[in-house]
Amino acid sequence: MVSQDLQDAVVVKSEVGDCVMSQTLLTSSLAGAIFGAALSASGVFSPSVIIAQMQFTNFHMLKVFMTASASSALIMYILDRIGSVPTKPKTPSSLGLFSNYDGNLIGGLMIGLGMTLTGACPGTVLVQVAAGVSSGYYVLLGGVLAGIVYARYSRLLRSTPTTQSPTQAREELTVQGKLGIHSRTAVLSYEAMCATCIYLATTLGPKDKSLSLNPTIGGALIGAAQASTLMLTGSPVGVSGAYGVLGEYFWFLNGQNKPRPRPNSLYFAFGLLSGSTLFFRSSPIIASEQASMAVSAMRAILGGFIMVFGARIAGGCTSGHGISGMSMLSVASFVSVAAMFAGGMGSALVL
């Protein structure tokens, strides 16, 4: 009798687990599809746009990026205030070399260099594959290899984090906590900063000619995708984690005594690729226009490896730190994004 009860309990537990996994697959994939469609519509995935931004010849990427981050900040602040989706600021990524943020700094520099080499970032490369950008496949290959290598040696790169209370940690992770100001004041100041950057880039920078969608509209669509992701999954957008999870699966399947990784980020990345594919099938002109530039295969593979490895060291990429982390006013994300642009623009001067 007891044995039968145990068997029934195991069956029920298995059925519940399958139901939860199916729901996670659905919500994460749907969130990724919405985000992928927004990235595709914004035009920020194009190699020419990303490289031109690093060369200061086109500010479309910056305007989309700042609009997306600003709108995400408002969304996250509101959802956090009403208790719908509590925000979790990014923690510092420490390598134990010279600072609590040394991983954010070094990783951010690597991301920027990789972006200049490839004309992609960990998220937009999936959009490039969907759009048929030839170099996108090689960038993706380099990124997957980086995820495998990082998953194997990540423990050797990380220092042991210090233990803090949840309240203390949250305060010290954010700009408002560091400065001792109210969250509302910090968010409004961030909105003003983003608006100023967009205005200066629009008035002083070169005009966008070939892109049909206004970058502020594209950025707002990405912000809306952020809201959808938060409501569907309870977590903000982020893509580079999928490469790390894929690497963990590689070693798990090869019997390296690693625990089975959670596949949520892979579901999101699959949804991103699917949503982008559906978007380009309905708008083939946009795909053909943005796919006009590609980089060499070796440069794409090398840049993809550097970019994704850097993203794992930094604990996020342009979406995880730039769109989500900065929206939560995380100090680690500001350090990472500043390093990204410094690395990208600096390398563009010499490459």
Nearest residue to 236 (alpha-carbon basis) of 263, 265, 260:
265
What per-residue confidence (pLDDT) applies to 11? 40
Q: What is the reported pLDDT for 294?
A: 67
- Angle of helix 134-157 relative to helix 241-253, nearest 10 degrees, comes to 70
Which pLDDT does position 171 carry in this prediction?
Answer: 61
Q: Mean pLDDT, consecutive 10-residue segments, the chain of 351 residues?
A: 46 45 87 96 90 93 95 93 81 92 97 97 95 93 97 81 51 88 95 96 81 85 95 92 94 82 93 96 69 80 98 94 94 97 94 82
Q: What is the pLDDT, as a whole number, of residue 209?
A: 66
Within 8 A by CB and 6+ apart from 263, the residues are 24, 25, 245, 249
3-state secondary structure of 349: helix
For the packed helices 102-118 and 297-314, what is the interaxial angle rounded to 10 degrees? 160
At residue 163, the pLDDT reads 46
pTM to 2 decimals? 0.90
Rounded Cα distance between 120 and 217, Å, is 21
Question: Six-digit token pair at 202?
Answer: 């629009």
- What pLDDT was estimated at residue 351? 82
The pLDDT value recorded for residue 213 is 79
Phi-psi region of 22 (alpha: psi -120 to 50; beta: other; left: phi over 0): alpha
